[in-house]
A and B are shown apart, each in its own frame.
Chain A
Amino acid sequence: MLGLFSLLALIALFLETAIPHLVPAHVLIPNLIVILVVDLGLRYHGALGALMAFAMGYATDAFSGIHLGVNSFLMTLLFLLTYEMSRRLLVTNALVGSVLVFFGVIMTALGGLWLGSGTEVLSESGPMLPWLLAQAAITAIIAPFVFALVAQCRRAIGLPARFARE
């Protein structure tokens, strides 16, 4: 489990950092780490999930922004919110996951601006909202495919596709 998510997080970070540099046009790159964290929150109800969400946030911090801790905080918070929500909801299917991913991308982006640069920068973020909404939408659209891929990987290494809910 730990190895699988570490590998997936590294692949996600590689794609997120390499693709914008390699393609000539300004393309929207889905936030794959948010999808992995939401998947953890929905399907892995253990303390290790929180640690992995923190670690994935820390890894994102290594490749984004200037403050270590911002994404660690936001990814742990997103995990916690997703986990709490999945405990209260009757259904936690891919659609619910996509909705959570959509809001997760917006929350982590705006939260990152606020934590990293303060309220002044956050108040100036209006012009980037269309871009942010588009990124959240694209991430939400591909989320079910990533969830399915993660489930397949789990099965392939002999883990259950989803874990028992609390």
Chain B
Amino acid sequence: MKGTFLWRNRVLLISGALLIISLHMISDGVHPDDVVARPASVLIEILGPVQAASSRLTEGATAVTRDYFDLVQVRRQNLELKGELGRFTSERARLAELEVENRHLAELLDLKDALGLQAVAANVIGSDATGLSRTLVLSQGSADGLQPGMAVLSNQGVVGKLIAASPHASRVLLIDDHNSALDGFDQRSRARGIVAGQVDDGLIMKYVDRSEDIRVGDTIVTSGLDGFFPRGLLIGSVKGVHREGPGLFLTVTVVPAVDYRGLEQVMVVKQQPPKLDDGAKGS
């Protein structure tokens, strides 16, 4: 067996087979419910609690570090009040953290009420593994009713949409990822276009007619026509309008309204806007 062609070239042959399997997965487009996607869901489920725990630990460590520096300052000023001030500082840091969290949740609740949609709040516990794509990991999953395709919002605006959900964690594709696109329009001129992510940074609004009146600073909101995001949600503001070149369309660069790096809590809209297909089926 050891001297045979198959044995001598086993690494090459097995690697070749695995490359073919990978290419098949890419070209076939794996659906979240497929058997092939299940191990990925299990992996998210395994790392989810660890990520959530590390997130909590870091928050705790940050609070402890902050308290320590406060304490050093207090000790310099008044040694007698060190213990008492330390306790108060610690309490204040905890309350400040609670206040920030409370404000975020209240803002999300306001947004939920304003939209009149069924939604669930979720904590952000991780980022994209390679940094080349822009995705986030959330602490809630299919056990909380989350499913791929659901819209994810923050009090600042549109965040992205769910692309995978395991029972207790899920992944969001941010709107500034180069694989992301949604239908939007200029709130002032009503000019429509497709807002897509870019490889480097920011958003670009494509397929805007050259005759449209779009200006720097205009607000871009969702149109609701893509079937994922409710109408009228803030996407960002126009950073630049490029009319150069002979094409039919304008190139509009957009600054996202949401600071994705600072996101701690988000809201997942469980109820999606009706799609054209649904109406057709119903009639």
Cα–Cα, bound, A45→B131 (Å):
30
A107 interface residue, CB < 8 Å from B? Answer: no
Among A45, A67, A68, A72, find the residue whose CB has the most chain B CB atoms closer than 10 A.
A68
B199 interface residue, CB < 8 Å from A? Answer: yes
Selected from A54, A59, A65, the residue in CB contact (under 8 A) with B133 is A65
Task: Give the total number of A-B pairs whose CB atoms are below 8 A apart.
Answer: 172
Selected from B15, B131, B163, the residue in CB contact (under 8 A) with A20 is B131
Indicate if the CB atoms of A46 and B179 lie closer than 8 Å. Answer: no
Selected from A60, A80, A127, the residue in CB contact (under 8 A) with B15 is A80
Selected from B22, B178, B261, the residue in CB contact (under 8 A) with A54 is B22
Selected from B44, B51, B177, the residue in CB contact (under 8 A) with A62 is B44
B50 interface residue, CB < 8 Å from A? Answer: yes
A66 interface residue, CB < 8 Å from B? Answer: yes
Minimum CB–CB distance for A136 against chain B, Å: 12
Cα–Cα, bound, A112→B132 (Å):
8
Indicate if the CB atoms of A18 and B126 lie closer than 8 Å. Answer: yes
- B251-263, CB under 8 A of A: which get 1 and which 0? 0000000000100
Closest to B46 in A: A10
B125 interface residue, CB < 8 Å from A? Answer: yes
Minimum CB–CB distance for B272 against chain A, Å: 18
Residues of A within 8 A of B129 (CB): 13, 16-17, 33, 60, 63-64
Residues of B within 8 A of A109 (CB): 130, 132
Closest to A127 in B: B200
Closest to B58 in A: A22
Indicate if the CB atoms of A50 and B179 lie closer than 8 Å. Answer: no
Residues of B within 8 A of A155 (CB): none
B171 interface residue, CB < 8 Å from A? Answer: yes
Closest to B163 in A: A66
Interface size on B, residues (CB 8 A): 54
Residues of B within 8 A of A63 (CB): 43-44, 47, 126, 128-129, 135, 137, 171
Residues of B within 8 A of A97 (CB): none
B96 interface residue, CB < 8 Å from A? Answer: no
Selected from A53, A113, A127, the residue in CB contact (under 8 A) with B132 is A113
Indicate if the CB atoms of A47 and B11 lie closer than 8 Å. Answer: yes
A5 interface residue, CB < 8 Å from B? Answer: no
Indicate if the CB atoms of A61 and B128 lie closer than 8 Å. Answer: no
Indicate if the CB atoms of B58 and A65 lie closer than 8 Å. Answer: no
- A1-24, CB under 8 A of B: which get 1 and which 0? 000000000100110111011101
B39 interface residue, CB < 8 Å from A? Answer: yes
A-B pairs with beta carbons under 8 Å apart, 10 shown? A14-B51, A17-B51, A63-B128, A68-B36, A69-B21, A69-B22, A69-B25, A80-B15, A117-B179, A124-B198
Q: Measuring CB to CB, which residues of chain A are less than 8 angstroms from any residue of chain B? A: 10, 13-14, 16-18, 20-22, 24, 26, 28-29, 31, 33, 45-47, 49-51, 53-54, 57-73, 76-77, 79-80, 83, 108-109, 112-113, 115-117, 121, 124-125, 127-128, 135
